């Protein structure tokens, strides 16, 4: 329990949880933007008192910070983990990263867009987003360098790979998954200059469809 000057209702913990508040805040951010992420509005939606919020968060800013932490864990962590995963070839390595684009359990594009829209209005959020983008790019650059690409070329290939995918989400381009799978081989070839094997493609599709 977080000590605050405002006393919560004694039955508040039994009626809502930290996860309830955080999930609603994230859903609201995605649907309506940061202006609607307000304690009073969410309390009505959760059918709890406003003061119950303070059982779980020190302040609205604490909630904002935890939303950003969730985004970093949800959307940045998996990209870095897959970029660092051992792979025999650069094509296999790229397909490891592609798992994030094929599975919203690994990367939530709607959340990514919502955070970026928030960042346009808040310099502190922008700093977090800029840092996360750089971490993602650094991991992708290192991935290319481990597969013998010169540093200057690795930087460019990492940026092309990353900006292409972020740009697709920003443009709200929705593709049928079967079409995306059909284009996978050519995308990998475009990003790396090398053609993935049939076995690599089959493994990627099997993992992506799990």
Q: Which residue has the tokens 């998954």?
A: 177
pLDDT of residue 1: 35
- For CA atoms 164, 167, 173, 176, give the dihedral sign: positive
**How far is 145 from 164, CA to CA, in rounded Å?**
20
pLDDT of residue 15: 78
pLDDT of residue 94: 98
* From the candidate CATH numbers 3.30.1380, 1.10.8, 1.10.10, 1.25.40, the one assigned to the domain spanning 12-58: 1.10.10
pLDDT of residue 131: 97
Q: What is the pTM of this model?
A: 0.86
- Given a cut of 50, the residues of the chain with pLDDT beneath it are 1-14
Give the domain ranges of the chain: 12-58, 62-208
Q: Tell me: the pLDDT tens digits for 62-119? A: 999 999 999 999 999 999 999 999 999 999 999 999 999 889 899 999 999 999 999 9
Are residues 73 and 159 in contact, defined by beta-carbon separation less than 8 angstroms? no
DSSP 17-49: -HHHHHHHHHHHHHHH-GGG--HHHHHHHHTS-
Neighbours of 64 (CB within 10 A): 19
């Amino acid at each position: 329990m977080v000590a605050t000057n405002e006393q919560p209702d004694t039955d508040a913990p039994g009626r809502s949880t930290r996860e309830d508040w955080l999930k609603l805040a994230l859903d609201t951010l995605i649907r309506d933007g940061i202006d609607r992420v307000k304690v009073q509005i969410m309390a009505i939606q959760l059918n709890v008192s406003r003061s119950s919020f303070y059982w779980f968060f020190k302040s609205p800013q604490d909630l904002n910070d935890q939303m950003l932490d969730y985004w970093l864990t949800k959307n940045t962590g998996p990209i870095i983990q897959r970029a660092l995963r051992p792979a025999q070839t650069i094509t296999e390595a790229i397909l490891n990263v592609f798992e994030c684009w094929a599975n919203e359990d690994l990367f939530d594009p709607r959340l990514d867009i919502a955070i970026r829209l928030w960042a346009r209005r808040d310099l502190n959020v922008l700093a977090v987003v800029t840092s996360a983008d750089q971490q993602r790019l650094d991991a992708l650059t290192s991935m290319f360098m481990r597969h013998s690409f010169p540093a200057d070329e690795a930087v460019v290939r990492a940026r092309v790979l990353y900006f292409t995918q972020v740009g697709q989400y920003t443009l709200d381009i929705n593709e049928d998954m079967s079409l995306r799978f059909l284009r996978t081989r050519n995308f990998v070839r475009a990003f790396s200059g090398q053609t993935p094997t049939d076995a690599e493609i089959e493994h990627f599709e099997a993992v992506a469809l799990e």
